[in-house]
Amino acid sequence: MDSTLLLLLLTGCSVKFALGQQGPVFILEPPSTLVFSNTTGSQLGCSAHGSPTPHVTWITSPDQRSVTAVPGLRQLLGNGTLYFPPFLAQDFRAEVHNARYRCRATSSVGTALSREVTLRAVLTVPGYDVRVNRQPVMEGCNAVLSCTAREDVKEHLTVTSWFRDDAILLPGNTDTGGRFVVTSQGDLHIRAAKPEDGRATYSCLTLHALTSERRKSEPATLTVTEPTGSSPPRLMQRSEIAISAESGSDVHLTCSAQGSPAPQFTWYRDVNGWFN
Ligand SMILES: *[C@@H]1O[C@H](CO)[C@@H](O)[C@H](O)[C@H]1NC(C)=O
Ligand SMILES: *[C@@H]1O[C@H](CO)[C@@H](O)[C@H](O)[C@H]1NC(C)=O
């Protein structure tokens, strides 16, 4: 008799739990990193569902202190979003702008903790300069033109296109027969340079990831020299030690050398110490 009652109570309880209650589950979790400009500000979104409806708050990481509003610098919006308004350079505060956060969703049924977000605010001034970097190329060899800017700006730039006179050259161009390739890293490669390549002008167009500001470089010319006598191959580019790419995207591995006669290239792939 006693055990039947207990069984009923247990079943009744678990049915009620399954029908009416659910612990917090994230619908929107913040990203693992957020880099933003002081001129734009940014926000971290977070929301969770469950029954009863969970309450969303933020904590610092790893010390787990409750995040509070800091006037003009950090605001908690009613919908769970943590907002960082644009700010002046002198208002930068490391504990607000260069900090790690986690979102916490709590209800009477439980608590869920989001992944950790590393937040980094960058002080940016409007406007930046880009220029074309290149070296003289021997006729018949490959030329490499890169787009460069001040080191602290460069890390946020992507090259969106190149211009050769008025012709636009886009990255990921699949025209393999063409002599002009914009690589996944944003460099312009010209295969087997011709004298006419020395009569064109080249400029690059960039996009700043934090401010969305676009800039076009001044047009630059390329010096194409006549091959003289014979010279051994000379590498024209520092080698990349690591290249990262999103899965499913194209990657260009490049090798650039000059010499006379024009060098031939062979690629090797090393898999667990075996070359093939
Ligand atoms: C919360 O509100 C802000 C400001 O109105 C909005 O930008 C953001 O998208 C909202 N977040 C969610 C999760 O709805
Ligand atoms: C961001 O910081 C720079 C200085 O590094 C300053 O010139 C600029 O005015 C700031 N932006 C805003 C919106 O205050």
Supply the DSSP string of 80-99, one letter for each residue. Answer: S-EEE----GGG--HHHHS-
Cis preceding-peptide flag for 30 (omega within 30 of 0): no
Nearest Cα to Cα of residue 256 among 153, 156, 185, 162: 185
- CB 47 less than 6 A from any atom of ligand 1: yes
pLDDT of residue 271: 85
**Burial of 43: CB neighbours in 10 Å, binned 0-12, 13-18, 19+:** middle
Which ligand 1 atom is at minimum distance from the Cα of 28?
13
| Cα 264 to middle of ligand 1, angstroms | 56
- Expressed in angstroms and rounded, the spacing between residue 268 Cα and the centre of ligand 1 is 50
Which residue's CA lies nearest to atom 14 of ligand 2? Answer: 88
pLDDT of residue 157: 96
Report pLDDT for 272: 84
**Which DSSP state fits 8?**
H
Determine the distance separating the centroid of ligand 1 and the alpha carbon of 165, expressed in angstroms. Answer: 44
**Does the structure show a pLDDT above 70 at 177?**
no
Q: Is the pLDDT of residue 13 over 50?
A: no
Kindly give, in sequence order, each residue whose CB lies less than 8 Å from that of residue 229, ignoring residues fewer than 6 positions away.
260
Q: Which residues of 63-78 are buried (b: 16+ CB within 10 A; e: fewer)?
A: eeeebeeeeebbeeee
Given a cut of 80, whether residue 173 has pLDDT beyond it is no
Q: Which of 28, 36, 43 to mutate to test the pocket of ligand 1 (most atoms within 8 A of CB)?
A: 43
Q: Where are the alpha helices (DSSP H) in 122-246?
A: 151-154
Give residue 175's identity as a one-letter amino acid code: D
To the nearest 10°, the Cα dihedral for 2, 4, 9, 15? Answer: 170
Q: What percent of the chain has pLDDT over 90?
A: 67
Q: Which of 26, 42, 77 to mutate to test the pocket of ligand 1 (most atoms within 8 A of CB)?
A: 77
Atom 9 (ligand 2): residue with closest C-alpha?
A: 88
Confidence band of 12 (pLDDT split at 50, 70, 90): very low
pLDDT at 155 over 50: yes
pLDDT in tens, 62-98: 999 999 999 999 999 989 999 999 999 999 999 999 9
Instruction: Quick: pLDDT tens for 116-139.
Output: 999 999 999 989 999 999 999 999
